[in-house]
Amino acid sequence: MPVSLRLPACLALIAMSLPVMPALAAESHVPPQIEVQAEASIDVRPDRATLNAVLVEATPLVEMGSERDDDATPQARKQLEKRSTALIDALRKLGIDDDHLHAGNLSVRNEQQLQQHDQNAPLLERVIIERNLDIDINDLTSLPDIIDALFANGIDRLAGIRYDVSDREGVEDRALQKALLRARHKAELMAETLSVTLGDVERIQETRAPVFRPMMMATARSEQADSATYTPGTISVDAGVLVNWALGASSFHTN
């Protein structure tokens, strides 16, 4: 057949007309690198604190399902408001202004209790009303006097003391800088030990943003003091980085 005889020749002509492509190069060479992960921690002394005080009022216990006194809850709330006002006035006299006092909303809940010595008796119930008061303190030397004032004015619970530092950004920067210096030290140590030369930094990654680790309140009571002496200790701030260095030209081995 004429067509079948000419087809292979056409294919050969097409193949001859295509440009000659050079052979694919071997996989591109990736310069050797040193990858270093480092973490660092710094300890700082707090210079401020926040106290959380709780005031509580409760209605009388009654048997569950029995008729309640309609005035009991409003009276308990009124008493709680009165105590809150007295406590805030006492704190103002200590020099704490309203910008550093944060009174939370009232919290109302029902509480049930078993009657003592008779588990088969009906449950008892009452209404619990609470109010939280946060107090910001910028002078830690005044902390013992403020705590004394809280208990002298009848708070029901000191929920906790949260210590902090006013210059958080500065402290975070110091922790991050320490982690970077630690990474560079590790890279230089590895390069010196392996007889290679560090080149430019290729990549920097923050693996752990600076974090303030919580600190528990430490207390000690002196036999000669009427109030506790509160020692804040230190706050630990952690940071972590990942850094890649290229190796210098002198580190490459040629065949």
Confirm whether 72 is domain-assigned.
yes
Looking at the fold, whether 61 and 143 belong to one and the same domain comes out as yes
Looking at the fold, whether 34 and 54 belong to one and the same domain comes out as no
Looking at the fold, whether 118 and 184 belong to one and the same domain comes out as no
For the purposes of burial, counting CB atoms within 10 Å of the CB of 178, is it exposed (0-12), middle (13-18) or buried (19 or more)? buried
pLDDT of residue 243 exceeding 90: yes
Comparing 23-32, 33-42, 60-69, 240-249, the range with the smallest average pLDDT is 23-32
Q: What is the pLDDT of residue 25?
A: 42
Where does the pLDDT of residue 55 fall: very low under 50, low under 70, confident under 90, or very high at 90 and above? very high
Looking at the fold, whether 185 and 159 belong to one and the same domain comes out as no
Q: Which of 144, 137, 133 is nearest to 166 (CA)?
A: 137
What's the CA angle centered on 203, arms 198 and 207, to 5 degrees? Answer: 115
Q: What is the pLDDT of residue 28?
A: 52
CATH code, 189: 3.30.110.170
Identify the domain boundary among 146, 164, 182.
Answer: 164
- Does the reported pTM lie above 0.75? no
Confirm whether 240 is domain-assigned.
yes
Q: What is the pLDDT of residue 16?
A: 47
Question: Which residue range(s) make up the domain with 103?
Answer: 48-164
Cα–Cα distance list, 137 to 30, 95, 102 (Å): 56, 10, 12
What's the CA angle centered on 28, arms 24 and 32, to 5 degrees? Answer: 165
Looking at the fold, whether 181 and 215 belong to one and the same domain comes out as yes
Mutual angle of helices 143-152 and 72-93, in 10-degree steps: 150
Looking at the fold, whether 74 and 124 belong to one and the same domain comes out as yes
Where does the pLDDT of residue 117 fall: very low under 50, low under 70, confident under 90, or very high at 90 and above? confident
Structural domains of the chain, count: 2
Cα–Cα distance list, 70 to 32, 75, 137 (Å): 80, 9, 40
Looking at the fold, whether 160 and 197 belong to one and the same domain comes out as no
Looking at the fold, whether 52 and 35 belong to one and the same domain comes out as no
CATH code, 111: 3.30.70
Mean pLDDT of 197-208: 94
Q: Quick one: tokens of 241? A: 């980085």
Looking at the fold, whether 133 and 178 belong to one and the same domain comes out as no
Where does the pLDDT of residue 47 fall: very low under 50, low under 70, confident under 90, or very high at 90 and above? very high
